[in-house]
Amino acid sequence: MTLILLKKCRIYDTDSPSHLKRRDILIEKGIIVDIKASIKSTQHMHIIQSANLCVSPGWIDIGCYNGEPGMEHREDLDSLKHAAAHGGYVGVVPFPTSHPTTDTKGQIAYLLAQNNGHLVDIYPVAALTKNKEGQEMAELMDLAHAGAIAFSDGKGSRMSEGQVQRSMLYLKGIESRMIYVVNSKKPGEEGQVHEGNVSVLMGVEGIPMHQEQVAVNTVLRQLAYTDSRVLIQNISLSWAADKIYKIGSRRDVAASVAYFNLSHNDAAVADFDINYKVLPPLRSESDRKKLCRAIEKGKVQVITSNHSPRSIEEKDEPFGLSPFGASSIETTFSSLLTFAKEISLEKIVYCLSQGPRAVLDIPKASIVKESTASFTLFDPSRTWKVSVESLFSKSKNNPYIGKTLQGYVLGVYNNLSLNLND
């Protein structure tokens, strides 16, 4: 297949002169060769059309879970890539969640070798400390030279404030970025859901807001001292969005929000649905709405899937024993369109595509003539019913199974490969 014609698609790309316009787009051998109001089709073209066909630069997900090697029963690289493509992503930025963790040049090389022209690109994140133990710093320069796009100890970080400071200073010297997860579950912490009326009614330990506030203040304090570069990952409080945005005018700092925190509040977990037990926890309706407004106003540039697949054996436990996490990378877009009505489609698409690229300095993909084609196709008007059979992730702990969602990912194109979901 050398010629692909997208018919009457609305373009969502703020860097394109055709932004928000309906155009025909012709792709030949991985290059966008023409964009016009109308392009005549021929029998040699693969024609793609839908009632409300839309296209944007390919989406990127930051911080998803990869279990290869060591935890392949939850997710391996192959299943992660298939699930990501089904969800509309052409690139994933997995945290160092494997066992052993990603803290050597060989492990970075292994992840990069999995690209090799594959439909979905992997951008490895290396651990900040050896084995993510929060003690001895990993060989950050070697890891950066090997191809690590950023550094993080991910969820459950054991780093002290002093270690955060030293890491920031070192990363500044090698011009790399830290991804700091503020909602980490540490040993001995018993919180299960957001601390509030719902936690009281459920009779379970709450996760207080000040836990996130302390973590955000810690990283911003060290950012001011080191003048480094930081992405504060998966905030759940509007307070954090406002504070990080204000600091962002003076420092190289950005924030991301997991889509569950935009789509739902803590009432979703009130009936002990383990698939809504996620970290960061679902917060109050007030915070949900304010976070949506922060996205709409451009205060937050990245929306993540917070993809944390769990096996049935792990997840199917009494609520207090069931681990945090949901298999969520395949329903990001649809959940946002269905439940986060306060956010415009334009902003949703930006925070899935251009926002992550800008924050992590991933090369731009744009819908302009003569550019390399890397895009996501979607129909915001189309609905679909989520089923176990429709999901490609190894783990099926998704709260939307059996439910109908609005917004359908039609497919992705990247690295000369086209994958359509129909």
Q: Which of 397, 396, 183 is nearest to 281 (CA)?
A: 183
Q: Where are the beta strands (DSSP E) in 12-136?
A: 22-28, 31-36, 46-48, 54-57, 59-62, 89-93, 121-122, 125-126
* Beta strands at 89-93 and 59-62: parallel, antiparallel or unpaired: parallel
pLDDT surpassing 60 at residue 188: no
Q: CA 139, 145, 147, 148 torsion: positive or negative?
A: positive
Task: Give the residue-averaged pLDDT of 252-257.
Answer: 97
- Say how many domains are in the chain: 2
Tokens representing residue 255 in the block: 């924030």
Q: Is the domain of 26 the same as that of 125?
A: no
Q: Which amino acid would we find at residue 290?
A: K
The DSSP code for 251 is S
Output the domain CATH number for residue 249: 3.20.20.140
| Residues 261 and 285 occupy one common structural domain | yes
Question: Is residue 31 located within the same domain as residue 16?
Answer: yes
Give yes or no: residues 216 and 235 share one domain.
yes
Q: Of the candidates 311, 333, 360, which is a domain's last residue?
A: 360
Q: Which domain holds residue 338?
A: 58-360
pLDDT, tens digit (0-9, with 9 covering 90-100), for 329-365: 999 999 999 999 999 999 999 999 999 999 999 999 9
Q: How far apart are CA 50 and CA 230, in angstroms?
A: 40
Determine the pLDDT at residue 185.
65
Residues 150 and 199 in one domain: yes
390 with 402, same domain: the answer is yes
Q: How many CB atoms lie within 10 A of CB 191?
A: 16
Question: In 3-state terms, what secondary structure has residue 292?
Answer: helix
> What is the pLDDT averaged over residues 201-205?
96
**% residues pLDDT > 70 (the chain):** 99
47 shares its domain with 94: no
Amino acid (1-letter code) at residue 209: M
Instruction: Report the distance separating Cα 305 and Cα 294, nearest Å.
Output: 18
CATH number of the structural domain spanning residue 19:
2.30.40.10
Asked if residue 295 and residue 379 are part of one domain, the reply reads no
Q: What is the pLDDT of residue 164?
A: 96
Of 310, 329, 360, which closes a domain? 360
Reading the block at residue 279, the tokens are 């970290």
